Amino acid sequence: MYRILWGLVIALIAGFGWPQRSAAAPPQTSQCAACHGTNGMGNQAAGFPALAGLPAAYLQAQLAAFKSKERGNATMAGMAAPLTGAQMSALSDYYAALPVAPAPLPAALPTGPGAALAQRGDWQAGLADGIPSCDSCHGPGGLGVGTQFPRLAGQPAVYLAAQLNGWREGTRKTGPMGLMAAVARRLTPAQITAVTAYYAALPANPANGAQP
């Protein structure tokens, strides 16, 4: 019953994004590219996330959260502070429209607790305190669902871990209905390490629709 109710909640709040539209590069992208790359695909080694192909509504909500300090990050707060609503919208549209090149699945994917958490969750603590699978919200292979649950696949492990720890510690407050904060507080440090390594190893756009 708990899984059914959880699924209904996700279905109600996820929705479907509007089709992406092409957008000219706003002037601010020259600063964004220093961390997120000229192609918007981030920097795995440095832990900077990919923005390309994420829903425009999600990106705009994050910029607003950085500006309001609802999402704590000193660098991004400084970048977002001078942006107007129109500039945030233009940046979000631009990055949402950037293509994500197809890539094959790696020959060997991480297994064990990371894959198990991503695909099945952990219900040993029971229905009330169990951990739902990441894929139940973020979609099979962590490719994202709607405008509330972004793509996890291919994002740097250090970035994903920082977000989970931010929800655990209260420095990140964004997200629908406090779902991520509730889930993150149930994860152990070892589970965070395992599940973030799993998603970091997945392609952001699997070739030929392949799934792990």
Q: What is the pLDDT of residues 147-199, one digit of tens each?
A: 999 999 999 999 999 999 999 999 999 999 999 999 999 999 999 999 999 99
Residue 212 in this model has a pLDDT that exceeds 90: no
List beta partners, residue 149. 145
pLDDT for 106 equals 86
In a domain, 19, yes or no: no
pLDDT for 23 equals 61
Residue that terminates a domain, selected from 77, 97, 117: 97
**2-12: per-residue pLDDT in tens?**
343 344 444 43
More confident residue, 67 or 105: 67
Q: Which residues contact 123 (CB under 8 A, 6 or more apart)?
A: 130, 131
pLDDT for 14 equals 43
Q: How far apart are CA 1 and CA 127, in angstroms?
A: 9
Average pLDDT, the chain: 89
Q: In the chain, pLDDT over 90 holds for what percent of residues?
A: 79
Q: What is the pTM of this model?
A: 0.87
Same domain, 83 and 9: no
Do 122 and 46 form a contact (C-beta atoms < 8 A)? no
Domain that holds residue 169: 2-14+103-204
CATH for 109? 1.10.760.10
Same domain, 44 and 87: yes
Q: How far apart are CA 49 and CA 31, in angstroms?
A: 15
More confident residue, 156 or 14: 156
Residue that terminates a domain, selected from 97, 127, 144: 97
pLDDT for 146 equals 95
Residue 20 in this model has a pLDDT that exceeds 80: no
Same domain, 77 and 114: no
Rounded to an integer, the average pLDDT of 85-96 is 97
Q: Give the dihedral sign, CA 124/125/128/129.
A: negative
Query: What's the total number of domains in the chain?
Result: 2
Residue that terminates a domain, selected from 97, 118, 153: 97
- The distance of Cα 160 from the centroid of its chain, to the nearest Å, equals 8
pLDDT for 90 equals 97
pLDDT-derived band at 18 (thresholds 50, 70, 90) equals very low
